[in-house]
Structure 1
Amino acid sequence: MPTVTSFGRTIDGTEVHLFTLRNASGAIATISNYGGTLTSLLVPDRNGQLGDVVLGFEDVSGYQSPAFRQANPYFGALIGRYGNRIAKGRFTLDGKACQLATNNGPNALHGGTVGFDQRIWQATLGTAAAGETLTLTYHSPDGEEGYPGNLTVTVVYTLTADNALRLVYSATTDHATPLNLTNHAYFNLSHGTEKDILGHELTLAADRYTVVDATLIPTGELRPVANTPFDFTGPHVIGERIAQVPGGYDHNFVLNDGLQVAASVYDPASGRTMAVMTDQPGVQLYTGNFLDGSLTGKRGTVYGPHAGFCLETQHFPDSPNQLGFPDTILRPGKTFQSTTVYQFTVRN
Structure 2
Amino acid sequence: MRKLEKALAGAALAAMVAGLCPAAHAAEVKREIAGTLADGTQVSAITLTADNGISATVLSYGATLQKLLAPDSNGRVADVLLGYDELSDYVEHPNYFGVTVGRYANRIAGGRFTLDGKTYQLPLNDGRNSLHGGDHGFDKTAWEVVSTKSGPTASVVLRHVSPDGDSGYPGRVVATVTYTLDEAGNLGIAFEAKTDKPTVINMTNHAIFDMAGEGSGNGAMGQMLTIPASHFTPVDANLIPTGELRPVEGSVFDFRQARRVADGLRDGTDQQIVYGRGYDHNFALDKGVTARPELAARLEDPASGRVLEVLTTEPGVQFYSGNFLDGTLIGKQGHLYRMGDGIALEPQKFPDAPNHPDFVSARVDPGKPYRHVMIYRLSTSR
Q: Normalised by the shorter chain, which TM-score bucket?
A: over 0.9
* 1:250 aligned residue: 280
- Match among 207, 210, 235 for residue 233 of structure 2: 210
Q: CA deviation at 1:130?
A: 4.7
* 2:42 aligned residue: 15
**Contact between 1:2 and 1:125, CA under 8 Å: does it hold in 2?**
no
Amino acid at match of 1:254: A
* 1:239 aligned residue: 262
- Match among 192, 195, 206 for residue 184 of structure 1: 206
SS in 2 for 1:189: coil
Identity level (%): 44
Give the Cα–Cα distance (whole angstroms) in 1 for the partners of residues 147 and 55 of structure 2: 15
* 2:69 aligned residue: 42
SS in 1 for 2:139: helix
- Match among 334, 340, 356 for residue 306 of structure 1: 340
Q: How does 1:305-324 map to 2 (within 5 A)?
A: 305-324=339-358
CA 1:30–1:175 in structure 2 vs 1: closer, same or farther (change >3 Å)? same
Give the Cα–Cα distance (whole angstroms) in 1 for the partners of residues 302 and 333 of structure 2: 22
Number of residue pairs matched by the alignment: 343
Q: CA deviation at 1:29?
A: 0.5
Give the Cα–Cα distance (whole angstroms) in 2 for the partners of residues 28 and 260 of structure 1: 22
Cα-to-partner distance string for 1:215-240 (whole Å, 9 max, x where unaligned):
00011000000000100000100001
RMSD: 1.2
- Match among 222, 234, 245 for residue 199 of structure 1: 222
* 1:150 aligned residue: 172
* 1:286 aligned residue: 320
Amino acid at match of 2:232: Y
- Match among 99, 111, 121 for residue 143 of structure 2: 121
Q: CA deviation at 1:109?
A: 0.4
Cα-to-partner distance string for 1:287-334 (whole Å, 9 max, x where unaligned):
110001111111111111111100000000001110100010000110
**Contact between 1:85 and 1:107, CA under 8 Å: does it hold in 2?**
yes
SS in 1 for 2:82: coil
* 2:14 aligned residue: none
* 1:62 aligned residue: 89
Unaligned runs of 5+ in 1: none
CA 1:130–1:222 in structure 2 vs 1: closer, same or farther (change >3 Å)? farther
Give the Cα–Cα distance (whole angstroms) in 2 for the partners of residues 342 and 27 of structure 1: 12
Q: CA deviation at 1:64?
A: 2.1
* 1:264 aligned residue: 298
Cα-to-partner distance string for 1:274-293 (whole Å, 9 max, x where unaligned):
11111100000001100011
**Contact between 1:150 and 1:173, CA under 8 Å: does it hold in 2?**
yes
Amino acid at match of 1:226: E
Q: CA deviation at 1:131?
A: 1.1
Amino acid at match of 2:338: G
Q: Which has the higher helix share?
A: 2
**Contact between 2:327 and 2:338, CA under 8 Å: does it hold in 1?**
yes
**Contact between 2:295 and 2:311, CA under 8 Å: does it hold in 1?**
yes
Query: More displaced, 128-137 or 305-314?
Result: 128-137
SS in 2 for 1:221: coil
Give the Cα–Cα distance (whole angstroms) in 2 for the partners of residues 236 and 110 of structure 1: 28
- Match among 243, 247, 265 for residue 224 of structure 1: 247
Unaligned runs of 5+ in 2: 1-27, 268-272
Amino acid at match of 1:252: N
Give the Cα–Cα distance (whole angstroms) in 2 for the partners of residues 335 and 130 of structure 1: 28
Give the Cα–Cα distance (whole angstroms) in 2 for the partners of residues 95 and 125 of structure 1: 40
Give the Cα–Cα distance (whole angstroms) in 2 for the partners of residues 201 and 26 of structure 1: 23
Q: Which runs of 4+ in 1 moved over 6 A?
A: none
Superposition TM-score, scaled by structure 1 size: 0.96
